[in-house]
Structure 1
Amino acid sequence: MTPSFSYPVPTIKADRLEDLYTVHGINRVVVLDLASTSESPTAVRDGYGGMCPNFLRDVLALLVKACEEGLLFGLDELCHLCLMKRNNQNPGTFLMSPHPGLQIIQGVPYRDQNWREEFFIFKINEASVGSFHFSRLPRY
C-alpha cells in the first residue's frame, strides 16, 4: 500500500522504543521496530502495523485515567471524547482529535503534523492485538 501523501522520513530512534518497554511497561513479547525510510504509519511491511506516538500517548492516557476513576473505557467512550473521521487525503486511514470542550488531556493538538516523522511499527500478533481478527472489521 502506498500512501497518497508523503510522510517525512522517520526520525524516532531505538532508545525511544526502549522507553516504551522500560518506562511505560510494554511487555517485551510485543515486537516494536523502527520503520524504514520507505514506510509510513499507513504503509508498513506485511504483518506489521504503524503507530504514531501521539495517538498511543492519548489513548493510553485515557485508559489510565478511566482505570484510576474505576470506569470502563471502550470504543463508545473513545468516540464520545474524540472526533474520529476518515482521512480523505489518505484513504484507509482515520483522523482523531478531541471534541471541542471535551479535552481530558490539556494541550493535545488537533493535528499531528509535527509528529508524522515520529512513528514506529509493531508486529501484529496475539501479543500486540490479542485474539482480535482484523478480518472481522467491515470493509466498504
Structure 2
Amino acid sequence: MTTPFKQTLRALLLLIVLINIGACRQTNPTELLAQSWKLQAISALQIPSEENMTDTQRRELDELKTSAVFQFNADGTYYIKFIEEAEGTWKLTDDARSLWLYPSQGAEQKYHIDNLSAEQLIIKTIDEETTLTLTAQTTD
C-alpha cells in the first residue's frame, strides 16, 4: 500500500526530473543554435546607424532583413543567404563562445558569440567590426 507521503515524494521526484530534462534542452547550445534565424539588426563600422541612413540605405537594409536566412541544422550543416549564398558545416567551441563556419567554398570563418538563446543569436566578427543580431525564425 502506498502512503500519501510516498505518493508526494514520487510526484516531487517526477517534477524534479521533468524540470531537469527541460533545463537541459533549453541550455544545450548546439540545440539552441540548430534552427532558422532571421536578421534583426546589423552594426558595422562602415555602415551608418539606422538613424543616419539615407532613405535608399534604409530601404536596402529592410530588404536585406527580409531576405536574409541563417539556417543551422542539427547535423552540423548550414545554409546562409546574406547578400550571397553560402553553405557548409558549422561547429561551436566547447564553451559555446565561438562559432566556426567551414564553407564548402572559401576559407573558414570564426565568430564570437555574444548571446545565444532560443530567441536570439548575437555574433561578432573576430575584428569586432561587425555585429549581427538574429532572431529565431517563427513559423506562422
- Which TM class, normalised by the smaller chain length? under 0.3
TM-score (norm 1): 0.26
Higher Cα Rg, which structure: 2
TM-score (norm 2): 0.26
Of Structure 1 and Structure 2, the greater helix share is in 2
User: Which of the pair has the greater relative contact order for Cα pairs under 8 Å at 6+ separation?
Assistant: 1
Of Structure 1 and Structure 2, the greater strand share is in 2
